[in-house]
Structure 1
């Protein structure tokens, strides 16, 4: 029977597919760490109070990258090259979502609009990350090899999402509500398309590595397209709603390191 659990288990059990999975995850997290580090350094004077939280966000992402690389080392595996069609962060940037890397490489301070763009982009992508880690925690939270890492990353992603909600609501209360909603909607619609494309690319690679029959690959591709159709119709709305989180000041505490 084809299920999400059996699919993940098949990927984890094979060294080559596991290597690709961890490499893609490590690359994306490292990129997120760099982006947040640059944003923390470039915040405008009026938003400098956010610097410790943005820096903490970046430090968490760097930590996640190290965790996935450590999981590879435990199996004696080296990181694999990430195919361009599976590079989630790069594809989002190409669609104009988030802050361009050219902007982040300059020494010029960001604008208030840039900060809103960053938070809206993060709110959408952290929704995806939180949901994906929750799914992995459901299936592998007690796994002796992966469990501790997955539980820690899942907790961090929930904190990141809570932080985005809280800070965007602060901006909304300051009169930026319409701008925030427009930005969130654009980010969400672009993200679901990129997620579809990346999912198809990754499943294609996994299918070739694992020798899946054409029928199995076709069923998985159909499922990805069906998920996109749902998200394009209505599912994107969960990515743009804002509510005060139960976890207040989620990035104000001390980060937890992974040994």
Structure 2
């Protein structure tokens, strides 16, 4: 029977698939770390109070990249090149989600609208990250090899999501509500399509490495497409609601260390 638990267990047990999984994850986290670092450096003066929180966000993402690389090293593996069709972060940028890298490479202050857009996009993508980590903790939080890493990253992702909710609500009260509402919807509808395509690509590459039979690959692809249909029909709405989080000022301090990694 196919399940998220059995699927990830199979990927975890095979060196080649585990190597690809950790490499994809490390690459995405490193990109997120760079993006947040540049955004923090370019925050408009009127929103300077956000800079330390965005810096903390980027430091967490960098830390997650190091954790995934450490998991590879622990098994005696090296990172591998990430197939372009599995690069979630870059594909989102290609579809207009997130601030363009060309803009972030310039030493020009961002606008207040740029920050509103950045936080709106982050609210959507951090929802995806938090959902994925919650699932992994549920099934593998006690795993001797990856459990500690998964639990730590999951806690950070919950902090990131709480920070997005709190800051967007503050900006909505300050008069940016319509922009936030529109951007959240546009981003969510684009993200679910990109996530579908990336998931199909990842499963294709995993199937090749693990020699999955065609019926198994077809069943997994059908499940991914069915999830997209559900999200397109209304599941995307969970990614755009805003509620004041229980964790207030979740990114108000320095990034936590990961000495074990």
What's the TM-score bracket when you normalise by the shorter of the two chains?
over 0.9
Partner of 1:61 in structure 2?
61
Partner of 2:157 in structure 1?
157
Partner of 1:244 in structure 2?
244
Partner of 2:167 in structure 1?
167
Structure 1 residue 175: Cα displacement? 1.1
Partner of 1:187 in structure 2?
187
Q: Which moved more, 1:10-19 or 1:245-254?
A: 245-254
Structure 1 residue 254: Cα displacement? 3.6
Whole-Å separation in 1 of the counterparts to 2:93 and 2:182 = 18
Structure 1 residue 255: Cα displacement? 2.4
> Is there any run of 5+ residues in structure 2 with no aligned partner, and where?
none
Residue-by-residue CA offset, 1:62-118 (whole Å, 9 max, x unaligned) = 000000000000000000100000000000000011100000000000001000010
Partner of 2:91 in structure 1?
91
Whole-Å separation in 1 of the counterparts to 2:114 and 2:2 = 43
Whole-Å separation in 2 of the counterparts to 1:50 and 1:120 = 14
User: 3-state DSSP class of the match of 1:113?
Assistant: helix
Structure 1 residue 33: Cα displacement? 0.1
Partner of 1:139 in structure 2?
139
Whole-Å separation in 1 of the counterparts to 2:254 and 2:50 = 15
So what's the TM-score if we normalise by structure 1? 0.99
Residue-by-residue CA offset, 1:209-231 (whole Å, 9 max, x unaligned) = 00100000000000000000000
| CA RMSD, Structure 1 to Structure 2 (Å) | 0.6
Whole-Å separation in 2 of the counterparts to 1:223 and 1:179 = 34
So what's the TM-score if we normalise by structure 2? 0.98
Q: How many residues are matched?
A: 259
Partner of 2:75 in structure 1?
75
Q: Is the 8 A contact 2:56 2:253 kept in 1?
A: no
Structure 1 residue 11: Cα displacement? 0.2
Structure 1 residue 253: Cα displacement? 2.7
> Is there any run of 5+ residues in structure 1 with no aligned partner, and where?
none
